[in-house]
Amino acid sequence: MPAYLTAAFYKFVNLPDAEQLRPTVLAVCEQHAVKGLILLATEGINSTIAGPAEGVRAVLAHLRQDPRLADLQHKEAWSQRAPFYRMKVRIKKEIVTLGVRGVSPTHMAGTYVKPQDWNALISDPAVVLVDTRNGYEVGLGSFAGAIDPHIARFADLPQWVANAAALQPTGGRKPKVAMFCTGGIRCEKSTALLRAQGFDEVYHLEGGILKYLETVPPEQSLWQGECFVFDERVSVGHGLQTGPHGLCRACRQPLTAADQASSQFEAGVSCPKCADHTSEAQKNSARERQRQWELAKSRQQVHIGAPSVPRHPLAAVDPAQLGSAASGAA
């Protein structure tokens, strides 16, 4: 049995006392040797944590003692090595940043569509299908016929929505829209955004792409390619089987076999997507960090600065951010 249990979870719920919850939540995690990242905001909670199974379950049990989180759902995964090196509990304005005031998934989210019903919905030619993920994610795979907004971050989506020709009214009526993301959290916000702007028929994939790939047989699937995930697997396919992609530990972009064969690829330092955007001083700093990580690994020691999968890729490399912890699939 693998040694580490990872639990990813989120919930949009009114938590006006989020800041007061932080010290106790952090203490419970530390008490049970659980590491990872928990984001708290007045709009809810978003997290991925990992550790001994009994420790992770103790943290989940503690959170569910709060009546507002009693029905908190989580996804589990197992690993042989520790996914995180630190435990952080942070207070944020939003648990997933959209940057539009007054958008409340608690009251305004679109209609959930179960994975087994998703194909029928998106096969309707009257439905506008929108992939709400960032460009590097869409580049690995998406649903057939989906619109790629070409955004660098989720907070760019409102501007795209405001200008998108596909979302303009026809005959005075706004179109029917279906939206999807990796795990569901971004779609709750994006559909709430559209409803706030007067879209009456807005739908999103319950459980996100991951639930679809887990439950819909490949022969019935309308998914094409791989799905980027925010952990050491980098990408997954049908049945959540680990995909073929690597990860640049510098810019955090997913890499194909061709990328890793490029002369611009150097483990922990650069890849074809970022090599031209970093200075030699930055590359040297990354080389030293990589050397220290490899040395610690050879000694079977934990190196806190070890490269790991972050939540979002960066356009340019800051070597100090190598090894930052990741939160859950969005």
Catalytic residues: 181
Angle at 144 between CA 99 and CA 217, to 5 degrees: 105
Per residue in 107-133, is it b (16+ CB within 10 Å) or e — as a string?
Answer: ebbbeebebeebbeebeeeebbbbbbb
In order, the DSSP letters of 1-34 are --SEEEEEEEEE---TTHHHHHHHHHHHHHHTT-
Residue type for position 257: A
CA distance 270 to 65: 45
Tell me how long the chain is: 330
44-51 and 4-12 beta bridge pairing: antiparallel
CA distance 77 to 85: 17
